[in-house]
Amino acid sequence: MTKMVKLFQTPSPFHLLKIYSVLGSFHFHRFSSKSGISSIKSALSSLQISNDTLVSRVCEILSDNQWLCSSELIRLSPKLTPRLVERIIHTHLDTGSLLQFFYWVSKRPSYEHDFNCYFSMLDRLIVDHRRHDDAQHLIVLSIRACKNVEELKWVMDFLVDIRKRGFKISMYSYNTLLIALGKLDMVRAAYNVYTEMLLDGISPSLFTLNTMINMFCKKGKVEEAELFLSRIFQYGMCPNVFTYTSLILGHCRNNNVGKAFGVFNWMLKKGCQPDSVTYNTLINGLCDEGKLDEGLKLIKEMVEKGIKPTVHTFTVPILKLCECGQVEKASRLLGAMSKRGCQPNVHTYTALISGFSHVGSLEVALGLYNKMMKVGVAPDTAVCNALIHELCEGGRFEQGLKIFDWMKARGFQPNVHSYTALICGLSRARNLEEAVVLCNKMMKDVVAPSITACNTLIHEFCDGGRIEQALRIFDWMEAHGCLRNSRTYNEIIRGLCLRGALQEAMMLFGDMARAGTSPSVETYNILIHGYILQKKLDHAVRLFDLMRESGCNPDEYSYTEMMLGFCKGGKLELASSLFHEMIGQGLRPNEYTFTILIDGHCKAGLIDGAQDLLGKMKEFGCSPTTETFNTIINGLAKENRFAEAENLCSRLSEYGLLPNVVTYTSLIDGLCQHGGTNVAFKVLHEMEKNNCYPNLHTHSVLIHGLCQEGKVDCAEGFFNEMQTKGISPDVVAFTSLIDGFVMIGRLDRAFFLLRKMLELCIQPNYRTFRVLLKGLQKESHLTVNKVAVQNDVSYSFPSDANYIGSELISQLLVKLSEIDGEPTVSTYSTLIAGLYREGKYSEAELLIQSMQEKELPLNKDIYNLLILIHCKSSRVEPALDIIKTLSSSEFEPPLSTYGMIICLLCKLNKVDEAVSLFQNILEKNWNPDEVVWSVLVDGLLNEGLVVPCVKLLQLILSSKHTVSLYTCKFVAEEMSKVDGSFKTNLLVDRVIGSRDSLPVTETGMAVFRLVLTFPAPLSGQEKLHIARITGASVQLAKSSRPWLCEDIDAKASVVAKLL
């Protein structure tokens, strides 16, 4: 059987099995001491003696003709293992009693022969020619015992071995082997076995040929099957119903029902009557092609012909009807099935339960679930998962958990989809604590992860703000060999961006390429959106350019996000330029794009331009939304062009739109800003009359407007009325009212409102504190003036009306302590951040010192602000001390802070220390591009520090980190703006460094492009440097890409002229 041997190139395990049969299969463990080894040797020795005694005793019992009646053997049988049975086979002399014992022991509870036993017994039988039939029978049993491909390979290798020893395998054994190979889809191996069978001089039976035909047809290989059909005729046999049905199956697998019916008709002409399997195969084929009505007609036809349908006849049509949402029709078919005495199986119920669940008929699905339990059909994992999913979608978690618990109690191992349905349901209901507990349990139970399910879980946890749990699943996937795709990374990156953790998001962005997953357009869009939310427009622009340089074309969303960033940053011209570029790229702007651009024009005071854009929307097939109109109405109202705003509001109906709460609030806000609260309240009443009810923002706008007009009591009355309507005030509403009372000198009332605010657990923001500080300042001035008048003295106040000194802040803290106890870390943090933004560094630092004196813990934001304050005051050592002190904690300053420290070190001529700190940054594995952008470009180059920038850039390029070619070009361009002489060497060095990773042609051409774009004169040293590298690049490029020689020579000549 040479072909069979060639098929499996792995060495035969048979000889190893013989060795194992003598030595036994020990499992070796590591021990920590010699005494441990000696003790285990002793234990093994005693075990060996015991086993030897057992084997000898069994052999003695088998020597007795009445051994089957031995109670002692029955008592000893639980101690028998396959290894001991194998030793008995080798030891006992009488083959007849040994074979009987072999069958007898195989039926003992909790015992199962391994293949060593089979092979050892067969070795005994094949040497005894009288036992040929017994050997054939045992071969059949060994084949049937195979559960997987590996086991079947062992048996086949053994068969190769015994054939070499002259043993003839029977047709029955060959047929059994072919069936086993077919079940395991080992078609090629089956064909080789068939060939060896012919070489052995065994003529195939109809059963043999049918097995081969069926095997090929299951794989859709009908042409190969037809070759075996021709053999049937060659051997003078006639195809039977199994033959024809197999061919029908083959055509159905190829989605060719027409040819399947051709075989069916040929079968009838030959007088071969189809059976239920034939009809089932055709019905399934029709259903798979979506021809459900024809399939149902065929069921009717088979019944009329007296062929009894089986459960399989009905299950596939029921499944397909349910998949199409035709659950009522499927239910009627179930009734017809029951009438014919055909009871549904678990697959039938699964199809119906899933179908009814998907169409929202959850009660019917639950009824079917209860019914199948009642009739004794155990639900499988698919049924339970379908129900759990739908129950959780409907918020019925308790019932979902009951089914989940039932699964576990009945021995069903819940899979990742079972857990996902429950966890996602709990997450959507914001029951995140239970979701986390269940997710931890899933990971503890080591359920095999599914990438789709894991991505869903990560999405849910990120949406719920549980990024730590999402990251645990992310790591769990890797630990269990589940490859993470771009969606996995995108979900995690999105979650990090929503939290504001852009540095961590960019680290993952860098990890994607190293993991073999290229960032998608969506990846870039998520990060760009994150930078815009953080008001880091420069980084968003750089990432947008990096995206294009990397060959990833921006889509409509990319351009729209960038336009949003430019409009928010007050760079309307750049937004408009990007809009035209987008159109030039063949991308069509949508309603959201236009709305952003219109809003940008309105915020820039270009209302007429915004209205022109509104008119252009139709050219691009876009219809303005209510939000589009609201942006213009808001702009008009703020410019006091109220009549135009009203007119535009009335035009909403032309587009089938209605004013919403934002529309009315925009009008009210504009009126309030221009002292028109009386008219604003008329708009409010009209709004309510039109069944559009004001929200919190509407009330806050009116409260602010009333306070600005000095109508503070009216504002407070409206504030109280708002609460009676069930609208809870927020920090904005409270602060507006507090500001009103401060303006009219009623500071006590202002602090009373602050008390109410804190009682409602509403945390004041910096504007709240700023307003109160203004009130304290005003009160202080009045008090000093009063004393001065009484004592006839003069007193001068700071010229800055907004001056806030440490004394006023101390007064505020005393007031806060009287109202709500000692100020919290959150209160200090809000004040410190606000003071820092206003440039009041000394006041902010005093507050931090106060916290430290009171032993209040500093959070990461306060630590970062303290570092920045030290840098602003040119105190680099204290800033470095904070970083060193906190190096072992989780606190990590942002890259911008590191950039500020490095800039200060360089300004103070402490470049070595700057280099050391930069090396520490590189060890943190942050994204190299972002490090360059934040530290080198926004830090050093922004301060004009080119020489240190060169040094640090060379450091990162010589490290293990890979900086993109885009970033290198970008840094060079920024350097040239400061000092063009540094551009040359750096970029040429970058190109040299990239020669191993870039194609040589790109390397050479990159050098040419760089040299051609140098705006500054070249020094002699630079000329030599470029000449050397360019020459090498030219030769390398020409040798590897000869078809580009002319282009390369042309570029080289230009470089030569420059040099």
DSSP for 528-593 reads: HHHHHHTT-HHHHHHHHHHHHHTT----HHHHHHHHHHHHHTT-HHHHHHHHHHHHHTTPPP-HHH
Return the ∠ at Cα 1031 (arms to 1026 and 1037), rounded to 5°: 120
Look at residue 959 in the predicted model and tell me its pLDDT.
83
What is the DSSP code (8-state) at residue 235?
T
Determine the average pLDDT of the residues in 958-969: 85
282-319 pLDDT tens trace: 888 888 888 888 888 888 888 888 888 888 888 888 87
835-879 pLDDT tens trace: 999 999 999 999 999 999 999 999 989 999 999 999 999 999 999
Look at residue 560 in the predicted model and tell me its pLDDT.
95
pLDDT at 654 exceeding the cut of 70: yes
Give the residue ranges of DSSP H helices in 658-695: 661-673, 677-689
Per-position b or e across 749-773, b if 16+ CB within 10 A of its CB: bbbebbeebbeeebebebbbbbbbb
Look at residue 340 in the predicted model and tell me its pLDDT.
79
Determine the average pLDDT of the residues in 65-91: 90
pLDDT at 464 exceeding the cut of 70: yes
Neighbouring residues of 982: CB distance < 8 A, sequence distance ≥ 6: 946, 947, 950, 975, 976
What is the three-state SS of 985-1027? HHHHHHHHHCCCCCCHHHHHHHHHHHHHCCCCCCCHHHHHHHH
Neighbouring residues of 97: CB distance < 8 A, sequence distance ≥ 6: 62, 63, 67
pLDDT at 238 exceeding the cut of 70: yes
Look at residue 789 in the predicted model and tell me its pLDDT.
57
Look at residue 580 in the predicted model and tell me its pLDDT.
94
pLDDT at 628 exceeding the cut of 80: yes
Q: What percent of the chain has pLDDT over 70?
A: 84
What is the three-state SS of 854-885? CCCCCCHHHHHHHHHHHHHCCCHHHHHHHHHH
Note every long-range contact of 432-439, with CB atoms under 8 Å and residues 24 or more positions apart, other chains counting: 432/461, 432/464, 432/465, 432/466, 435/460, 435/461, 435/464, 435/466, 435/469, 436/466, 436/469, 439/469, 439/472, 439/473
Look at residue 32 in the predicted model and tell me its pLDDT.
40
Look at residue 31 in the predicted model and tell me its pLDDT.
35
Q: Which structure tokens are listed for 955? A: 């450091």
Mean pLDDT of the chain: 82
Which of 554-558, 770-774, 987-991, 1046-1050 shows the lowest mean pLDDT across its residues?
987-991
Q: Which structure tokens are listed for 997? A: 């990773």
Look at residue 443 in the predicted model and tell me its pLDDT.
73
Cα–Cα dist 524/497, whole Å: 12
pLDDT at 981 exceeding the cut of 70: no
Of 657, 616, 621, residue with least CA distance to 633: 657
DSSP string of 955-984, one letter each residue: HHHTSS----HHHHHHHHHHHHHHHGGGHH
819-834 pLDDT tens trace: 888 899 999 999 999 9
By the 10 Å C-beta count (0-12 exposed, 13-18 middle, 19+ buried), 497 is classed as: buried
DSSP string of 798-832, one letter each residue: PS-TT---HHHHHHHHHHHHHHHSSPPHHHHHHHH
Determine the average pLDDT of the residues in 124-142: 90
Neighbours of 391 (CB within 10 A): 25
Neighbouring residues of 421: CB distance < 8 A, sequence distance ≥ 6: 385, 388, 389, 392, 400
411-441 pLDDT tens trace: 677 777 777 777 777 766 666 677 777 777 7
Which of 523-527, 699-703, 897-901, 959-963 shows the lowest mean pLDDT across its residues?
959-963
Domains of the chain, by residue range, sit at 321-378, 380-484
Of 922, 953, 960, residue with least CA distance to 936: 953
Of 339, 294, 345, 357, residue with least CA distance to 315: 345
Look at residue 429 in the predicted model and tell me its pLDDT.
67
Neighbouring residues of 690: CB distance < 8 A, sequence distance ≥ 6: 659
pLDDT at 34 exceeding the cut of 70: no
pLDDT at 174 exceeding the cut of 90: yes
Look at residue 990 in the predicted model and tell me its pLDDT.
47
Q: How many CA atoms lie within 13 A of 1059 on its CB side?
A: 21
Look at residue 802 in the predicted model and tell me its pLDDT.
58
Cα–Cα dist 504/425, whole Å: 28
Residue with tokens 């470049």: 911
Give Cα separations from 1033 to 184, 1006, 1013 (angstroms).
56, 10, 18
Query: Mapping DSSP to helix (H, G, I), strand (E, B) and coil, where does residue 29 land?
Result: coil
Look at residue 677 in the predicted model and tell me its pLDDT.
92
Torsion angle in degrees (nearest 10) through CA of 26, 30, 33, 37? 0
Q: Which structure tokens are listed for 453? A: 């399910």
Of 323-327, 734-738, 1021-1025, give the range with the top mean pLDDT.
734-738
Determine the average pLDDT of the residues in 108-114: 89
Residue with tokens 């011209």: 573
pLDDT: which is higher, 521 or 437: 521
pLDDT: which is higher, 453 or 192: 192
8-32 pLDDT tens trace: 333 333 333 333 333 333 333 333 4
Determine the average pLDDT of the residues in 380-390: 76
Which of 302-311, 596-605, 646-655 shows the lowest mean pLDDT across its residues?
302-311
Model confidence band, residue 1047 (pLDDT cutoffs 50, 70, 90): low
488-519 pLDDT tens trace: 899 999 999 988 899 999 999 988 877 778 89
CA 68 to centroid of chain Cα atoms? 63
Determine the average pLDDT of the residues in 449-467: 78
pLDDT at 3 exceeding the cut of 90: no
Look at residue 1000 in the predicted model and tell me its pLDDT.
36
Look at residue 1005 in the predicted model and tell me its pLDDT.
43
1010-1028 pLDDT tens trace: 444 444 444 444 444 455 5
Look at residue 796 in the predicted model and tell me its pLDDT.
52
Cα–Cα dist 722/701, whole Å: 12
Residue with tokens 């576990």: 408
pLDDT at 1036 exceeding the cut of 80: no
Cα–Cα dist 691/260, whole Å: 65
Look at residue 122 in the predicted model and tell me its pLDDT.
93
Of 8-12, 727-731, 921-925, give the range with the top mean pLDDT.
727-731
pLDDT at 573 exceeding the cut of 70: yes
Determine the average pLDDT of the residues in 376-391: 75
Determine the average pLDDT of the residues in 193-203: 90
What is the DSSP code (8-state) at residue 128?
S
Determine the average pLDDT of the residues in 722-729: 93
Count, residues in the chain:
1059
Determine the average pLDDT of the residues in 591-610: 94
Residues 380-484, CATH architecture: Alpha Horseshoe (1.25)
What is the three-state SS of 352-388? HHHHHHHCCCHHHHHHHHHHHHHCCCCCCHHHHHHHH
Of 828, 826, 845, residue with least CA distance to 836: 845
Model confidence band, residue 721 (pLDDT cutoffs 50, 70, 90): very high
